Homo-oligomer: A and B are copies of this chain.
Amino acid sequence: MQPLPGFRDFYPSDCTFRNFIFSRWREICRRFNFVEYDGPLLETIELYQKKSGDEILSQIYHFIDKGNRHVALRPEMTPTLARMVEAHFKEYKKPIKWFSIPQLFRYERAQKGRLREHYQLNCDIVGEADLEADIELINLAIDILLSFDLGKDDFVVRVSDRLFWTEFLKKKAIPRDDWYAFFQAIDKIEREPRVEIERRLGDLAKEVFAILESPPCWERFEILLEGLRHRGLADYVCIDLGIVRGLAYYTGIVYEIFDRAGEFRAIAGGGRYDDLLRQIGGEDIPATGFGMGDVVLGEIIRKKNVIQPSFPRLDVYVVFPEGKKNPQGLFLIEQLRRQGFSVDFSFCPSKLKKQLATAQSLNARFALIVSDKIEEGIVEIKNMDERTQLTLPVEQLAGWLKERS
A→B interface (CB under 8 Å):
1-5, 7-12, 15-16, 18-19, 28, 30-33, 35-44, 46-47, 61, 63-67, 69, 71, 73, 83-84, 86-88, 93, 95, 97-98, 103, 105, 107, 110, 117, 128, 130, 132-133, 136, 139, 143, 146, 227, 230-233, 280-281, 311-312, 314, 327, 330-331, 333-334, 337-338, 340-344, 347-348, 358, 361-362
Closest residue of chain B to A30 (Cβ to Cβ) is: B342
Contact (A133, B312) CB under 8 Å given A19-B36, A334-B139, A337-B32: no
Query: Which B residues are CB-close (under 8 A) to A311?
Result: 35
Closest 8 CB pairs of A and B: A63-B63, A7-B40, A132-B347, A10-B38, A33-B344, A230-B327, A12-B35, A230-B330
Measured between alpha carbons, how far is A366 from B28 in the docked complex, in Å? 19
Find out whether the CB atom of B31 lies under 8 angstroms from the CB atom of A343: yes
Closest residue of chain B to A282 (Cβ to Cβ) is: B1
Closest residue of chain B to A8 (Cβ to Cβ) is: B40
Query: Which B residues are CB-close (under 8 A) to A37?
Result: 9-12, 15
Measured between alpha carbons, how far is A104 from B37 in the docked complex, in Å? 19
Contact (A33, B1) CB under 8 Å given A330-B231, A331-B231: no
Copy count, this protein chain: 2
Find out whether the CB atom of B231 lies under 8 angstroms from the CB atom of A334: yes
New A-B contacts (19) at CB < 8 Å, excluding given A9-B39, A42-B117:
A1-B87, A2-B87, A5-B67, A9-B37, A15-B35, A16-B35, A16-B36, A30-B312, A31-B341, A33-B342, A41-B73, A41-B117, A61-B65, A63-B64, A66-B107, A93-B358, A130-B347, A130-B348, A230-B331
> A1's contact among B4, B73, B281, B331, by CB below 8 Å, is which?
B281
Measured between alpha carbons, how far is A232 from B362 in the docked complex, in Å? 26
Query: Which B residues are CB-close (under 8 A) to A40?
Result: 3-4, 7-9, 117
Measured between alpha carbons, how far is A32 from B11 in the docked complex, in Å? 18
Say how far A320's CB is from chain B's closest CB, in angstroms: 12
Closest residue of chain B to A337 (Cβ to Cβ) is: B31
Find out whether the CB atom of B83 lies under 8 angstroms from the CB atom of A1: yes
Closest residue of chain B to A317 (Cβ to Cβ) is: B33
Query: Which B residues are CB-close (under 8 A) to A343?
Result: 31-33
Query: Which B residues are CB-close (under 8 A) to A10?
Result: 37-39
Measured between alpha carbons, how far is A7 from B72 in the docked complex, in Å? 13
Query: Which B residues are CB-close (under 8 A) to A95?
Result: 347
Contact (A88, B11) CB under 8 Å given A33-B362, A330-B231: yes
